[in-house]
Amino acid sequence: MYSKIIGTGSYLPEKILTNHDLERMVDTSDEWIRARTGIIQRHIAAEGQMASDLALEASRKAIDAAGIQAQEIDLIVLATTTPDMIFPSTACILQHKLGISGGPAFDVQAVCSGFIYALATADMFVSSGKCRNALVVGTEVYSRILDWTDRSTCVLFGDGAGAVVLTQSNQPGILSSHLHANGSYNNVLAAPGNICGGKIQGSPFITMEGNTVFKFAVKVLEEAVFEAITANHLQASDIDWLIPHQANIRIIKSTANKVGIPMEKVVATVDQHGNTSAASVPLALDIAARDGRIKTDHYVLLEGVGGGFTWGSVLLRW
Ligand code: ACO
C-alpha cells in the first residue's frame, strides 16, 4: 500500500507588501532584496487572520481538487511555526473550522522543513492503513514574529498556506521520505522567546545568522537530493520537478547547480511570496500542479531545510 496526493490547494492573504513598500519602512532597496534573495513581494495576513484561517482556505481548495468531502478526512497533520495559540493545536482548530471531528489532528514543528516532516508523518499513517484520507498542511503568519525594524530579517518572509490530500493507493505515490535534524545549530536561526508567568522572556522575534544559514541550506539540500535518488535507484536526470523550500533564489539555484538539475526543472515561486516557511513547499507544489507543469508519472522531489536545523525530502511519483 502507498499513499498518493490526489489534491492540492494554497492560499495567500490579500495584502501584498512589495520591496518598494519596505524601502519606506527600513534602510533597504528593491535592488538589494532582488539581488540577494530574488524576492519581489510577499503577502501579509490581515489583522486577526490566523494560521488556521489561511490553512482553511488552502485546505478547502485541496479537498475540492481531491473530489472528496471534508467528512472523509480522517487525519490532519499541520506544520506551523506560528500557531494560533499555545494550545490547542492549530490542526484541531482547523479541524473544527472544516466542520469535521473524530480523526487525529496534530501539529508538527520543524520550521521551514515542517511540511516535509508533516507529509512524511502522514504517509506513515496512510500507507500503513491506519488512515484513509489525510489532510497535510503548511501554514504560517511569519509577519507576526518579524521585527519590522530589522532589515536583515523582515525583507525575507511572508504569510501563506498550502495543503494536500493524501489517500491510500496501490500505486505510488510517495516513494520515499528522509528526515534529519542537527540541534547543535538551534541558536543560528530562532525566535528564542518563551512565555513564563504571563510574560515573554527573551526575544519573540526571528534572529538569524544569514551566512551560516545560507551555507548550511545549500549543503543539506544537495545531500537530500542525492539521498533520495540513491535510495530509489534514480539519477538526477530522472527527476522531472525539483521543488525545494522557497527561501532564497540563490540557495535554490546553487542547489540545482550542485546536483545537476537545470533550473527549467525547478519550481521557484519565492519571488511572489518570499519565504513562507512551512507553507513554501506546498504553495510551490500547488502552483506547478495547477498550471499543468506536473503531469502523471512525473518524478517530483520535494525538499526542505529550516531552523533546528531540520531538513529532509519526499520523493513522489505523480
Ligand atoms: N537591505 C540592505 N542591506 C542589507 C539588508 C537589507 N535588507 N540586510 C542586510 N544588509 C546589509 C548588511 O548590513 C551588510 O552591510 P555591511 O556590509 O555594511 O555590514 C550587507 O548588506 C551584507 O550583509 P550580508 O549578511 O553579508 O549579506 P548576504 O549576502 O549574506 O545576504 C542574506 C544576506 C540574504 C540574509 C543571505 O545571507 C541569505 O540569504 N541567507 C539565508 C537566510 C535565509 O534564507 N533565511 C531564511 C530562513 S532559513 C531557511 O528558510 C532555510
Residues 14-25: tens digit of each pLDDT: 999 999 999 999
**How far, CA to CA in Å, does 91 sit from each of 204, 248, 305?**
22, 28, 22
Do 8 and 153 share a domain, yes or no? yes
Atom of ligand 1 nearest to the CA of 22: 7
Nearest protein CA to atom 36 of ligand 1, as residue: 210
Query: Which residues have CB under 8 Å from 208's CB, separation 6+?
Result: 152, 153, 188, 189, 190
Q: What is the rounded average pLDDT for all residues in the chain?
A: 97
- Decide: helix, strand or coil at residue 277: helix
pLDDT digits (tens, 9 = 90+) for 247-286: 999 999 999 999 999 999 999 999 999 999 999 999 999 9
As for how many domains the chain has, the answer is 2
Do 250 and 156 share a domain, yes or no? no
Do 157 and 14 share a domain, yes or no? yes
pLDDT digits (tens, 9 = 90+) for 155-193: 999 999 999 999 999 999 999 999 999 999 999 999 999
Mean pLDDT confidence for 83-108: 98
CA 41 / ligand 1 centre spacing (Å) = 17
The pTM score is 0.97
Domain span at 60: 2-171
Atom of ligand 1 nearest to the CA of 155: 7
Do 118 and 31 share a domain, yes or no? yes
- Decide: helix, strand or coil at residue 80: coil
Question: In the listed set 116, 148, 171, which residue is the last one of a domain according to the structure?
Answer: 171
Do 194 and 160 share a domain, yes or no? no
Q: Tell me, what CATH number does 296's domain have?
A: 3.40.47.10
Cα angle: 53, vertex 137, 86; to 5 degrees: 60
Q: Is 37 in the pocket of ligand 1 (CB under 6 A)?
A: yes
- Count of alpha carbons within 13 angstroms of residue 255, beta-carbon side: 33
Q: Is 306 in the pocket of ligand 1 (CB under 6 A)?
A: yes
- Count of alpha carbons within 13 angstroms of residue 245, beta-carbon side: 33
Do 185 and 78 share a domain, yes or no? no
Q: Is 171 in the pocket of ligand 1 (CB under 6 A)?
A: no
Mean pLDDT confidence for 59-87: 98
CA 262 – CA 216 distance, rounded (Å): 21
Mean pLDDT confidence for 95-104: 98
Q: Where are the beta strands (DSSP E) in 233-279?
A: 241-244
Give the pLDDT band of residue 103 (cuts 50, 70, 90): very high
Do 181 and 167 share a domain, yes or no? no
Which residues carry out catalysis? 112, 245, 275
Cis peptide before 125 (omega within 30 of 0): no
Q: Look-up: residue for cell 551566512?
A: 211
Do 185 and 304 share a domain, yes or no? yes
CA 269 / ligand 1 centre spacing (Å) = 20
